[in-house]
């Protein structure tokens, strides 16, 4: 068929009714798309998809929820807790692929949720459920059904010890979107991010809070991450980071102690450990702060993993503050990329970072001097201080320095 003859609906993406999920998906669910969701046990995958099922069913669409791990009664108990109930929502507890296909033929749903793909097996294959062959075949059959009939398919996948989805890598290749749930079981927040998305970008993240009534989107994530920030402590700095279209203020914490062993320890949680090693070398060489006999630990409070280089300057200032046991000025945010020569480099989104800092009551910002061009709009009530190099950044960020 000629490409100009292909027709598609005016509205390609349907809202899930959950704003944070729509943000990650790029606007919503596309008819006939296959979405794979992975995450640690108990992170909230089944909870989120059951909430989605309730929202979609309320829109008048028929939905089939296939539970391969729980009985009908168990799913019903969760649905009652989440207040999910609608005659358009059908629950089917089955792991046999052929029986699942019969149920899809009989019901003709607009959407199917599979929980989880590792429990599904085909009687035509000899390997046991969860094997590479069974997972690949089951996913392939469900994928073809979704594409040929225009059924939106959401599939839950188990993860391995290293955090990747269990099963063959082809599982992630054939689906349209791959989402990962992150967070700790003992904390209430959850972060949803896309590592593959054929219908949108992979820069956006969704932030949820787990409550008794289910997963609720966090409207003000910066306030959420700073709710327990360290006040007036050395080694703690606030950095504005960009995650897709949103700006988040996060706290970076550093701890520097004398090493008890021959080789000092460098550990980072929420940051690239190799990048930390490079920045510590720059700080020691260009900032004249000795760290050769010290252990350095770095942590991003809240569980985020930050990859953008705009946190370089914040990391340097946090480590210097901890090493010198000097507090950073309060109500100050710090951001900027750092070169090996100790020079600062401009970063994107400076205006958005300043705006978010101003909105949350911060009155001072330290940023690369290259970002202070005439077209930069500085929000009212915040003082923007440009720095050309590492030494000046340390001088005006630590208490006792001069601006």
347 vs 318, 324, 334, 338, 383, CA distance in Å? 19, 27, 12, 10, 18
The answer to whether 334 and 353 are in contact (CB under 8 A) is no
pLDDT in tens, 111-123: 999 998 999 999 9
Tell me which of 65-74, 77-86, 156-165, 273-282 is least confident: 156-165
Q: How confident is the model at residue 187 (pLDDT cuts 50, 70, 90)?
A: low
Q: 194: which 2 tokens?
A: 């896309």
Q: 303 versus 358: which is more confidently predicted?
A: 358
Share of the chain above pLDDT 70, in %: 94
**Is 60 exceeded by the pLDDT of residue 401?**
no
Sheet holding 294-300, edge to edge: 266-269, 294-300, 246-258, 236-243, 332-334, 364-368, 383-387
**Is 80 exceeded by the pLDDT of residue 335?**
yes
Pick from 328, 339, 332: nearest CA to 354: 332
**Is 60 exceeded by the pLDDT of residue 208?**
yes
* Structural domains of the chain in order of their starting residue, each with its CATH number: 10-219 (3.40.50.300), 224-397 (3.30.230.10)
Q: 40 versus 372: which is more confidently predicted?
A: 372
Q: 204: which 2 tokens?
A: 């956006």
Which pLDDT score, from 0 to 100, does residue 403 have? 44
pLDDT in tens, 17-35: 999 999 999 999 999 999 9
Pick from 220, 314, 320, 230: nearest CA to 270: 314
Cα 298 to Cα 254: distance, rounded to the nearest angstrom: 5
Over range 332-344, report the average pLDDT: 96
92-116 as b/e: b if 16+ CB within 10 A: bbebebeebeebbeeeebbbbbbbb
pLDDT in tens, 34-56: 999 998 888 899 999 999 999 99
pLDDT in tens, 248-268: 999 999 999 998 888 899 999
Which pLDDT score, from 0 to 100, does residue 402 have? 45
386 vs 268, 374, 393, CA distance in Å? 27, 13, 8
Q: 262 versus 180: which is more confidently predicted?
A: 180
Q: Which residue has the tokens 């599982």?
A: 171
Q: 179: which 2 tokens?
A: 């989402």
Share of the chain above pLDDT 90, in %: 68
* Mean confidence (pLDDT) of the chain: 90
181-197 as b/e: b if 16+ CB within 10 A: bbbeeeeebbbbbbeeb
């Amino acid at each position: 068929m000629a490409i100009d003859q292909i027709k598609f609906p005016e509205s390609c993406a349907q809202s899930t009714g959950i704003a944070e999920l729509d943000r990650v998906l790029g606007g919503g669910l596309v008819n006939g798309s296959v979405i794979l969701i992975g995450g640690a046990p108990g992170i909230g995958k089944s909870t989120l998809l059951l909430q989605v099922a309730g929202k979609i069913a309320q829109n008048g669409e028929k939905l089939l929820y296939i539970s391969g791990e729980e009985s009908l009664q168990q799913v019903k108990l969760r649905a009652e807790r989440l207040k999910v109930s609608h005659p358009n929502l059908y629950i089917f507890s089955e792991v046999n692929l052929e029986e699942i296909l019969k149920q899809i033929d009989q019901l003709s749903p607009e959407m199917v949720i599979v929980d989880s793909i590792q429990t599904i097996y085909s009687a035509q294959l000899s390997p046991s459920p969860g094997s590479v062959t069974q997972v690949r075949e089951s996913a392939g059959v469900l994928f073809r059904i979704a594409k040929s009939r225009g059924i939106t398919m959401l599939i839950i996948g188990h993860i391995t010890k290293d955090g990747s989805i269990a099963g063959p890598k082809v599982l992630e290749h054939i689906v349209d979107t791959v989402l990962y749930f992150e967070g700790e079981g003992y904390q209430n927040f959850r972060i949803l991010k896309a590592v593959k998305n054929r219908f949108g970008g992979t820069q956006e993240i969704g932030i949820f809070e787990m409550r008794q009534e289910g997963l609720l989107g966090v409207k003000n994530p910066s306030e959420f991450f700073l709710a327990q920030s360290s006040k007036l402590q050395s080694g703690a700095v606030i950095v504005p980071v960009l995650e897709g279209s949103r700006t988040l203020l996060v706290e970076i914490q550093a701890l520097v102690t004398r090493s008890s062993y021959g080789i000092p320890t460098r550990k980072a949680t929420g940051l690239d450990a190799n990048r930390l090693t490079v920045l510590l070398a720059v700080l020691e060489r260009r900032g004249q702060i000795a760290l050769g006999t010290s252990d350095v630990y770095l942590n991003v409070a809240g569980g985020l993993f930050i990859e953008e280089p705009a946190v370089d300057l914040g990391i340097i200032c946090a480590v210097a503050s901890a090493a010198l046991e000097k507090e950073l000025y309060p109500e100050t945010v710090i951001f900027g990329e750092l070169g090996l020569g100790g020079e600062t480099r401009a970063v994107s989104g400076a205006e958005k970072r300043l705006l978010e800092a101003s909105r949350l009551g911060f009155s001072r910002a330290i940023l690369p001097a290259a970002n202070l061009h005439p077209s930069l709009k500085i929000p009212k009530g915040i003082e923007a201080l440009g720095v050309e190099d590492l030494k000046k950044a340390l001088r005006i960020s630590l208490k006792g320095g001069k601006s």
